[in-house]
Amino acid sequence: MSRTYAILGGGGSFGIAAALYLLDHTDAKKVIGIGRNPLRPGAFSLGIEKRPRYEYYARHVTYELDLLLELLDREKPEVIVNFAAQGEGAVSWKHSWRFFETNSMALARLAEELGKRDYLQRFIQIGTSELYGSVDHAAREDDPIRPSSPYAASKAAFDLHLMSVHRFLKFPMNIIRPSNAYCPAQLLHRVVPKAVVAGLTGRKLPLHGGGRAEKSYIHAKDLGRAIHLVAEKAPLGTVYNCGPELPISIRALVEKTAEALGVPFEQLCEVTGDRLGQDSRYWLDSSAIYRDVGWKPEVSLEEGLAGMVAWGRQYIDQLRDWPTDYVLRA
């Protein structure tokens, strides 16, 4: 059945990647991107605004809930996918209340209103692997939650809220907890795009703690496919991890990026101190999503990083002067 999808946080790279996947690989009737700002220029929007069956609107989930609901009530999307979040754990120690304001309170208000709408068939929350904290085994969905930053705690709070409103009020939800994702259009405070732009401009990439921390990386195209499979096949109320079989150290990831760029690793990096609250390993057991809907990652790191380098080369005139620090905004 052809459905209308609304993607909150739709102005970010992962929201755009999910929209592109739905437009290119499904019979979605319409895809509506909704973000707090107008779309950024070409390198960070990839021309998605020109695509048929796609529309974009600027609505702020925290401060413009009334306007957001008016839009949703007009379009009546059967599936709402939420990427909207304050999304940088390393900086969440300062102004930590802002992370709860968006990631917990604003989304709880939204969910309460959406529970009154009979057009909604499924709300898919994009969670985070960080709520499991640092692990020595592949974390399962029922493993203890051990958030190690205010960001992770704020994401965990809304996950728990969704579980309760599904159980007692039958709110039609699923949660996907992806590993670290990357893709073209990603802002430059993230390690992969920052490394690509550093390599293309002859700058040094700061490698925190020598890159010892291990994380699991998937291409956002694979996350888009997971969203579609969950929307089509998953039992309501289920929570799914979504990541590769094994983690990789940040150093090894940057080494692979250097190979894709064709530059020596030593030329690309400089070692710096570790970040506050840096977890040593994020690692997910994604067997449940494979069992229920048949999802496994398909885009290899080599293929994905080659695509990132191609994106960087295409847009380097715009990217070379783009900020590389995370900016906390309402």
Beta bridge partners of residue 219, listed in sequence order: 182
Quick check: helix, strand or coil at residue 184?
A: coil
Question: How do the domains of the chain map onto residue ranges?
Answer: 4-181+217-242
| Cα atoms found within 13 Å of the Cα of residue 309, Cβ hemisphere only | 17
CA dihedral 174, 178, 183, 188 (to 10 degrees): 110
Note the pLDDT of residue 89.
66
Taking the chain (330 residues) in runs of 10, the rounded mean pLDDT of each run is 95 98 98 97 96 98 98 98 87 92 98 98 97 94 94 97 98 98 96 97 87 92 98 98 96 96 94 61 95 98 98 97 78
In contact, 172 and 124? CB cutoff 8 Å:
no
Structure tokens belonging to residue 23: 């437009």
Q: Where are the strands (E) in 130-263, listed by range?
A: 173-178, 180-182, 205-208, 214-215, 217-219, 239-242, 248-249
Closest listed residue to residue 300, CA positions, set 267, 266, 260, 264: 260
- Measured CA angle at 79 (ends 176, 33), to 5 deg: 90
In contact, 299 and 219? CB cutoff 8 Å:
yes
CA distance 8 to 329: 17
Q: What is the dihedral sign for C-alpha 188, 190, 196, 201? A: positive
Identify the CATH number of the domain defined by range 4-181+217-242: 3.40.50.720
Amino acid, res. 83: F
Note the pLDDT of residue 102.
96
What is the per-residue DSSP string for 253-316? HHHHHHHHHTS-HHHHEEEEPPPTT--SB--B--HHHHHHH-----S-HHHHHHHHHHHHHHTH
Residue with tokens 């709408």: 117
Q: What is the dihedral sign for C-alpha 268, 274, 276, 280? A: positive
Structure tokens belonging to residue 14: 């992962």
Structure tokens belonging to residue 329: 């905004």
Structure tokens belonging to residue 214: 């291990």
**Alpha helix locations (H) across 202-249?**
220-233
Q: What are phi and psi of 143, to 5 degrees?
A: -70, 155
Burial of 142 (0-12, 13-18, 19+ CB in 10 A): exposed
